[in-house]
Amino acid sequence: MSYNTWPTFVGRGWGIKKRPITRTIIQTADGGQEFRLGRFQTPLYEFDIEIPYLSQTDYATLQAFFAQQSGALTPFQFAYDGDSVSDSVFGTGDGSAKQFTLSGIDGEPVYSAIVDAVYRTDWQGRQLLYPTVRTNHMLYSQSLANAAWDKSNVTVTDGAGVAPDGSTTMSRLTVTATGFSSISQYFGSLLIGPVKLILFAQADTANIIFVQVNQANANNVVIHASDINFNVSTGAIGAEYSTGAFPFNNYSGMTLTPMGSGVYRIELSFNVDPSTTSCTVYTGPSASMTGTSATAGTSLLMWGLAAQTGGGVYIPTTTAPVTVTDYVFTGNTMTMGQVPAEGAQLTWTGQPLYLVRFSSDSIETTETMSEIYEATTITLRSVR
């Protein structure tokens, strides 16, 4: 069932009073001993609201809302300013649960909420989650030896190292001949930008990795192609360049984040040209920060490659692109799109909503000046 929401009034006064209400049964024995029993598992609440100034419009809004609720009959949603929460923990992953109940400032479950932000802290660090659709278009993001990845002057061995999520699924790329050495994947129809590229890399005998994006039009003519290099030993990020004098992709949001155990998370974003009909992403070892040539026999470790529309945290894939919605919030329940890993912490920022009724079947207003009104204290009482 959906409920109306308490309106906003320009002239509402500050200092809303909030009172917890409990109920206790008290029995007194002849000898004076007392026996007490609490009837409420959690308290109800009353809110006193003062509105010292109501314009003609606000006055009409209040009267119409009161009539719409049939006075004290029908519940509605109410946000109490003093109960805003920031980074409040509402769940810890156990490796299987996807649904969690949102709790308010006092730890009690909320009826509903205005959710401003949701974060998950796990092996990827503290990551903002999205209530909108996100897609990783890369195939076999954690199996780089798979045939979905084209190889040029490299051999790829899966299971060669420990990935950031704790699995032994990192791939080793070994250069077979000096020169351009890469794995790549082609997308015939990405693509609604912007696109975020994500990959995880670890130095081996090579410590520099390049990323190249080629965008082509319907005639298969390259219209954008540029590279950028990352040093996964020092944390240095190079400048964008083009080996073929093509217009740049104008990369943005480049980051190189240490994940522990020598693994770095690489991120960058680019916009898709309106004329683009296909896109190819290349990556591999490099001998310098300003080129794509690698030295024969050198190698590095890679894992978790993603070309994501919708941004957000890394999404693993196998045989097909994977689309997720990080969370869906309904009532007071947060349903996660992916099962949080064991120990992952979930937090939220926003405004809890109470389900309340008018405490009385009447409200009193006074016209203090022409078309200016004052409402005496209006009391709302929470309901279960």
Strands 44-54 and 372-382: antiparallel
Question: What mean pLDDT value characterizes the chain?
Answer: 90
What percent of the chain has a predicted confidence (pLDDT) above 70?
93
> Would you state the pLDDT for residue 192?
64
More confident residue, 163 or 376: 163
Each residue's pLDDT tens digit, 216-225? 998 989 999 9
Alpha helices by DSSP H, 1-100: 56-68
Query: In 10 A of CB 126, how many CB atoms?
Result: 11
Q: Phi, psi (5° rounding) for residue 378?
A: -105, 125
Q: What is the pLDDT of residues 48-72, one digit of tens each?
A: 887 777 788 888 888 999 999 999 9
Residue 13 has a pLDDT of 56
Element (H, E) at 284: strand 278-286
For position 384, what pLDDT does the model report? Answer: 77
Q: What confidence score (pLDDT) does residue 191 get?
A: 58
pLDDT tens readout for residues 223-232: 999 999 999 9
- pLDDT, mean of residues 315-334: 94
Helix H or strand E segment including 62:
helix 56-68
What is the distance between the alpha carbons of residues 183 and 300, in angstroms, rounded to a whole number?
12
pLDDT of residue 59: 84
Examine the pLDDT at 303 and tell me if it is beyond 80: yes
Helix (H) or strand (E) run with residue 66 in it: helix 56-68
Is 54:373 a contact under the CB 8 Å cutoff? yes
Q: Domain ranges in the chain?
A: 17-82+354-382, 133-325
- Domain 133-325: CATH superfamily is Galactose-binding domain-like (2.60.120.260)
User: Given this model, what pLDDT does residue 50 score?
Assistant: 79
